[in-house]
Amino acid sequence: MNKIAEIFDSLDYGPAPEGPDQAIAWLDSRGRRFGHFIDGQWTAPGKTFSADNPATGASLAEITDGTPEDVDAAVKAARAAFKSWSALSGYERGKYLYAIARMVQKHSRLFAVLETMDNGKPIRESRDADIPLVARHFYHHAGWATHLAREFPGHEPYGVCGQIIPWNFPLLMLAWKIAPALAAGNTVVLKPAEFTSLTALLFAEICERIGLPKGVVNIVTGEGDTGAAIVNHPDIDKIAFTGSTEVGKLIRAATAGSGKGLSLELGGKSPYLVFEDADLDSAVEGLVEAIWFNQGQVCCAGSRLLVQESIEEKFIAKVRRRMASLRVGDPLDKSIDIGAMVAPVQVERIRDLMKKGIAEGAHVYEPDGPLPAQGCFLKPALVTNVSPANTLVAEEIFGPVLVAMSFRTPEEAVALANNTRYGLAATLWSENINLALDIAPRLKAGVIWINGTNQFDAAVGFGGYKESGFGREGGREGMAAYLKPSWEKTLKASSPSAAPAKAGAANPLDAAQIDQTAKMYIGGKQARPDSGYSRPVFGPKGELVGEVGEGNRKDIRNAVEAARAASGWATTSAHARAQILYFLAENLDYRRDEFAARIKAQTGRNGAEEVARAVERLFAFAGWADKYDGAVHNAPLRAIAAAMVEPLGVLGIVAPEANPLLGAVALLAPAIAMGNSVVLVPSARAPLSMTDFYQVLETSDMPSGVVNIVTGDGEALAKTLAEHDGVDGLWFMGSAAGSVMVEKASVGNLKQTWTSRGLAYDLSDERFAGDYFLARATQVKNVWVPYGA
């Protein structure tokens, strides 16, 4: 039998190595020693560390470990460049982005080979996925730059953006962050991962070659301390971070109260659901892409296989057969499926997690076959005989390890899929389109792939829910993340209103009447405070005008439980939600004289205008309920992505002290219009307007638990809400110190927060009757659906 016939008979792959010569020549041309790229120039190398090829262990170059002084120089260069760069027309900025895209395409093979040598991923992935997507992002955002003024009127760039990227997609993560930042008119200081800095440095040379103005892009290499210096630098206006959830929490705490913009794209433990009617062979191939792409070093890797019990045995057998044919080896070989892990420390971390999982009862299957004698290689692994509590099921492994469990019903599949602190992505396979489109909205993740996986495009937002972070990259929402309303810079510090004088001694038994204590409103019912105490409400002259319950941690717990039980509000039709908001406005208007009198009793002001504004605001958001929706993106793939606008979930709201009715209603209305259930803490000094308001709720068909009202000290209750893992978002209007406290306390589950930071927000302004709070009450889920031939 001749050689060709033997090949067709055995279907064996021979080696198909990619030459590293050009990448080596570039490294040699730089002397294999790199400083930073600051203000359009290369600094002399400082204290360095080695960038190693994980497939061989050989040193590729020496990289400078950035100091706080290096970061400061880069920030100063970026600040100096910001004025002229942001003043350019969008068309002019777009031309630079276009030039970058063209240069990336022109040198795509160099970038791909260098990326594979530095990172260890197979050349097929860097060549066919990463680098084309890098060029796509710069092309896409060149267009956003051109149309920015038309599409985002009244917005402006943040200023200097600090960007910290991981090692799993070094150049692609750079593009995800730099492209929208420059399109918006920001300047950047970017730190690549210490393991994989080389393509970022090659990109810096591209910026130099196209004549990008000095200081617009600054690349500072280094280890963790360099990133910390960026996060803590006082002259950086926005931080964008991709990396581990643990580090993301530290950044959230470090930036609390600073007013810096913050985007966090963090870890994941994504479910991969296979239903009994799925095309199993296609699902197996999708699974290979989901978990063994880039050696499983992917934040959205489909690392939790959930397969329907009726097909579990058959499907697992197919997976094992497919694993046996996966080729592990030299990532520069184009016939290789699984390359090298990024570094020895990552290999050891994965092995330690595997040992722990096995000790807890897990069974591990690895296919036969040798691993390369040197380098950071691991075999693909399939883990079975686990429960949701097993370490390998709960923790992000970030390696080529697939954990499998089964389910019986679609309801159980959803429960298992959502049983995680993460919420980055999910994949589901089913030939029943009705089932697929029923399951997708119920999965708590920012990206859903139906009968496909790992689909990405610059036109489609990417980002997570829960502890997978917040903010989006790509698409319109990713562009918006690098812009802020222009009027925010005009805000002044709010003047704390003087506490009303108290008449007589503060004896808790002093009360003008038998009982004026307004109860709380939890789960659609009036509820006495757990504390058993009440707090007096005084008028402007110190007279007692009523009492309310003194809310505590248990009251918040009860309110959050009621709000979570009312989660069906999110799936109530937008038309129905709008109608109930109209009812609220109508019934409040019927009682306008009563509410105006209550405002006057508490504040001394004529309350008629405030009531009228509150009615208008309810009407405004009733009108928005069925209009603030998503879009369908036509990505250059055989699919469409439906960008679905979803509520955050349970939203805590601490209303401002001033304007006791309007201040609460202006925040409550957009939250419930978008389908959130709410725990509201009204003005501590004038809470009676909102304890009266629950009578309006009761007469307006508002479902129980959608709105819960807990009275008491705003900052104390805000802390409890911020720490509560059942709360998905928190809005706080209060002091600067209270805002810092809320943002720091929110790190437990990385809930999304908005705080006033002690600034004077006039909620009667019409700018708050639109998307300012609607955007903060929602998150975008992109659902990818196969479409077209």
What beta strand segments (E) does 401-480 contain? 401-407, 425-429, 447-450, 469-470
Structure tokens at 176: 């995800």
- Annotation marks residue 161 as catalytic: no
Contact of 213 with 40, CB cutoff 8 Å: yes
Structure tokens at 232: 């803590």
Q: Which long-range contacts link 360-366 to residues 24+ away (Cβ below 8 Å)?
A: 360/386, 360/390, 360/391, 360/392, 361/385, 361/386, 361/390, 362/386, 362/390, 362/392, 362/403, 365/320, 365/323
Q: Which phi and psi angles does 188 have, rounded to 5°?
A: -135, 150
Structure tokens at 503: 């008449």
Tell me which residue of 441, 329, 304 sits closest to 14, measured CA to CA. 329
Structure tokens at 413: 């599949």
- Cα gap 707→715, rounded to integer Å: 20
Task: Tally the C-alpha atoms within 13 A of residue 147's C-alpha that lie toward its C-beta.
Answer: 9
- Annotation marks residue 92 as catalytic: no
Give the angle 647-649-654 at the CA atoms, nearest 5°: 100
Tell me which residue of 115, 242, 185 sits closest to 251, measured CA to CA. 242
The secondary element (H helix, E strand) that includes residue 783 is strand 778-786
DSSP string, 646-712: EE-SEEEEE--SSSTTHHHHHHHHHHHHTT-EEEEE--SSSTHHHHHHHHHHHTTTPPTTSEEE--S
CB atoms within 10 A of CB 777: 28
Contact of 739 with 722, CB cutoff 8 Å: no
Out of 161, 207, 299, 376, which one is annotated catalytic? 299
Three-class SS state of 255? helix
- Cα gap 644→448, rounded to integer Å: 11
- Cα gap 608→598, rounded to integer Å: 10
Q: How far is CA 483 from CA 86, 238, 638, in A?
A: 12, 10, 31
Structure tokens at 317: 């057998």
Three-class SS state of 568? helix
Q: What share of the chain is helix, strand, coil (3-state, %, to 5)?
A: 45, 20, 35
Q: Which phi and psi angles does 668 have, rounded to 5°?
A: -65, -40
CB atoms within 10 A of CB 574: 17
Tell me which residue has tokens 């050349």. Answer: 123
Tell me which residue of 401, 377, 406, 400 sits closest to 391, measured CA to CA. 401
Tell me which residue of 228, 194, 206, 226 sits closest to 61, measured CA to CA. 194
Q: Which phi and psi angles does 217 have, rounded to 5°?
A: -120, 125
Report DSSP state, residue 66: -
Q: Which phi and psi angles does 654 have, rounded to 5°?
A: -110, 110
CB atoms within 10 A of CB 253: 14
Residues 6+ apart with CB under 8 A from 449: 425, 426, 427, 428, 455, 784
Tell me which residue of 144, 167, 181, 366 sits closest to 263, measured CA to CA. 181
Out of 18, 125, 265, 312, which one is annotated catalytic? 265
Structure tokens at 728: 């998905």
- Cα gap 555→541, rounded to integer Å: 31
Catalytic residues: 265, 299
